[in-house]
Amino acid sequence: MALIVQKFGGTSVGTVERIEQVAEKIKRFREKGDDIVVVVSAMSGETNRLIDLAKQISAEPVGRELDVMVSTGEQVTIALLAMALIKRGVPAVSYTGAQVRILTDSAHTKARILQIDGQRIQADLKEGRVVVVAGFQGVDAQGNITTLGRGGSDTTGVALAAALKADECQIYTDVDGVYTTDPRVVSKARRLEKITFEEMLEMASLGSKVLQIRSVEFAGKYNVPLRVLHSFQEGPGTLITLDEEESMEQPIISGIAFNRDEAKLTIRGVPDTPGIAFKILGPVSAANIEVDMIVQNVAHDKTTDFTFTVHRNDYASAFKVLEATAAEMGAREVSGDTDIAKVSIVGVGMRSHAGVASRMFEALAKESINIQMISTSEIKVSVVIEEKYLELAVRALHTAFELDSPSGKGE
Ligand code: ADP
Ligand code: ASP
Ligand code: MG
């Protein structure tokens, strides 16, 4: 008998009918004799609806109160699913994050899980109950409700699987696995049988929202067997694994991720002296703004240009900070651009292949797509391009790296 943690995302519990379908599915698993802990998200659209309500009161709602409110979305679905299970004769009980005691830090709206008390769940499992836990939420040491950041139910699922030493964590969603790129953007995207934690972590952090980054971090750290599957279609899904097989067939790149959430800022004509990066980025980081890509150009006339990207939500504040810095340093001008997108190719196969970046640049050049910024690491190459070319770029790269599915139907 195995212990399985199953997480169902927002669209999978988006209507009462779907919740009934999920209950049927869980019932079938139970009949095989497995112990099941279920984690659910709020009904699709509900978290956005709640955030919009808060924004009608205040443009920047207080994090503590926002968490009290958005956590209600998951409280509704746990109860509905438990009712649907009980109706089918499957003993079930629902718990909020605080009731389990999913202890987090106090960073409202982006809290980190510190500890999970598995006792209550273990006791229920022993009694033969299916335990339904609210995703995305926890409680801090002072008893305040916290949430784990958008997409955080994935992390609840994996963290519970780690804490309970589950045999597998299954993430059920509206696609049948992890694809070479978002199948909603590239119809020729292919489902991957397997992907390494390392690659999945890069994909997630570079914009593939199929799994929340922290869930992958947890799974890698605690070696939780993790699988992404379709909620309502049979199939093997995608296994996220530790091993990096040295097979001849290993592709150079495993996937393409993209992100429309960044904006670019440039400060021109800054004196090229030691400490300049710190002078420019110090105040940005002091304003709690995270910087992603950075480019500093070579100076010709003792002045240089400095460009970096931030999350689009931080663009206006970053611009203000930069204007203040520019005035102080006597820089020539500050400019910015929000119509950019970042496209990244990811793959452990890059380690053993030369020329991957130039193949990427060639594919983009063929489509006359201008590259504005580049950054590389051992297993990824990212470029910033004009947003309107994003889909074209992703499709061109997908073809150039021979990732297209032969049938064009994702298999
Ligand atoms: P859930 O509500 O179940 O958590 P999400 O919307 O968070 O679902 O994640 C699933 C979505 O992720 C898919 O519908 C798909 O559009 C998107 N996605 C982005 N990149 C990928 C990828 N590489 N493989 C599969 N899905 C991806
Ligand atoms: N309901 C939350 C969100 O929409 C958490 C999740 O779905 O994973 O972000
Ligand atoms: Mg999600």
Q: Which atom of ligand 2 is nearest to the CA of 151?
A: 8
Using one digit for the tens of pLDDT, what is the confidence trace for 131-177?
A: 999 999 999 999 999 999 999 999 999 999 999 999 999 999 999 99
Q: Which ligand is nearest to the CA of 255?
A: 1
Cβ(42) to ligand 2 under 6 A?
A: yes
- Please give the C-alpha separations between residue 314 and each of 149, 290, 292, 333, 394, in angstroms, as whole numbers: 16, 8, 12, 19, 25
The rounded distance, in Å, linking the Cα atoms of 139 and 111 is 9
What angle do the packed helices 315-329 and 276-286 form, to 10 degrees?
Answer: 140
CA 344 to ligand 3 centroid distance, Å: 20
The rounded distance, in Å, linking the Cα atoms of 321 and 344 is 28
Residue 171's pLDDT is what? 98
Partnered with residue 281 across adjacent β-strands are none
Cβ(97) to ligand 2 under 6 A?
A: no
Residue % of the chain over a pLDDT of 90: 88
User: Which residues does 348 contact at the CB level (< 8 Å), separation at least 6?
Assistant: 196, 198, 199, 244, 250, 254, 379
Query: DSSP strand E in 260-302: where?
Result: 262-271, 291-296
Cβ(157) to ligand 2 under 6 A?
A: no
Q: Which atom of ligand 1 is nearest to the CA of 171?
A: 3
Check whether 247 has a pLDDT greater than 50.
no
- Please give the C-alpha separations between residue 82 and each of 22, 29, 135, in angstroms, as whole numbers: 11, 15, 14
User: Which residues does 338 contact at the CB level (< 8 Å), separation at least 6?
Assistant: 263, 264, 312, 315
Using one digit for the tens of pLDDT, what is the confidence trace for 251-294?
A: 789 999 999 999 999 999 998 888 989 999 999 999 989 999 99
What angle do the packed helices 153-163 and 213-222 form, to 10 degrees?
Answer: 10
CA 209 to ligand 3 centroid distance, Å: 6
Cβ(176) to ligand 1 under 6 A?
A: no
- Please give the C-alpha separations between residue 90 and each of 26, 45, 81, 130, 132, in angstroms, as whole numbers: 9, 28, 11, 7, 12
Using one digit for the tens of pLDDT, what is the confidence trace for 184-195?
A: 999 999 999 999
210: which DSSP letter? Answer: T
Residue 105's pLDDT is what? 97
Mean pLDDT of 326-355: 93
Mean pLDDT of 80-85: 98
Contact 177, 203 (CB under 8 A): no
Structure-token pair, residue 177? 């696995």
Mean pLDDT of 73-93: 98
Mean pLDDT of 46-50: 98
> Cα-flanking dihedrals φ and ψ of residue 351, to 5°?
-60, -35
Longest dimension (CA), the chain: 78
CA 407 to ligand 1 centroid distance, Å: 21
Q: Which ligand is nearest to the CA of 157?
A: 2
Q: Which ligand is nearest to the CA of 190?
A: 1
Q: Which residue reads 């994090």 in tokens?
A: 63
The rounded distance, in Å, linking the Cα atoms of 295 and 325 is 17
DSSP H or E segment with residue 199: helix 197-205
The rounded distance, in Å, linking the Cα atoms of 315 and 289 is 9
Q: Which residues surround ligand 3, an ion (CB under 5 A)?
A: 9, 151
Using one digit for the tens of pLDDT, what is the confidence trace for 86-137?
A: 999 999 999 999 999 999 999 999 999 999 999 999 999 999 999 999 999 9
Residue 76's pLDDT is what? 98
Q: Pairing state of beta strands 303-311 and 238-241?
A: unpaired
pLDDT level of residue 300 (50, 70, 90 thresholds): confident
* Strand order through the sheet with 145-147: 113-116, 102-104, 137-139, 145-147
Query: Mean of the per-residue pLDDT values for the chain?
Result: 94
Using one digit for the tens of pLDDT, what is the confidence trace for 351-372?
A: 888 899 999 999 999 999 999 9
Check whether 340 has a pLDDT greater than 60.
yes
Using one digit for the tens of pLDDT, what is the confidence trace for 16-43?
A: 999 999 999 999 999 999 999 999 999 9
pLDDT level of residue 405 (50, 70, 90 thresholds): confident
Residue 248's pLDDT is what? 45
State the virtual CA torsion across 69, 74, 80, 83 in degrees, nearest 10: -110
Residue 354's pLDDT is what? 85
Residue 410's pLDDT is what? 52
Which of 13-22, 238-247, 317-326 shows the lowest per-residue confidence on average (mean pLDDT)? 238-247
167: which DSSP letter? Answer: S
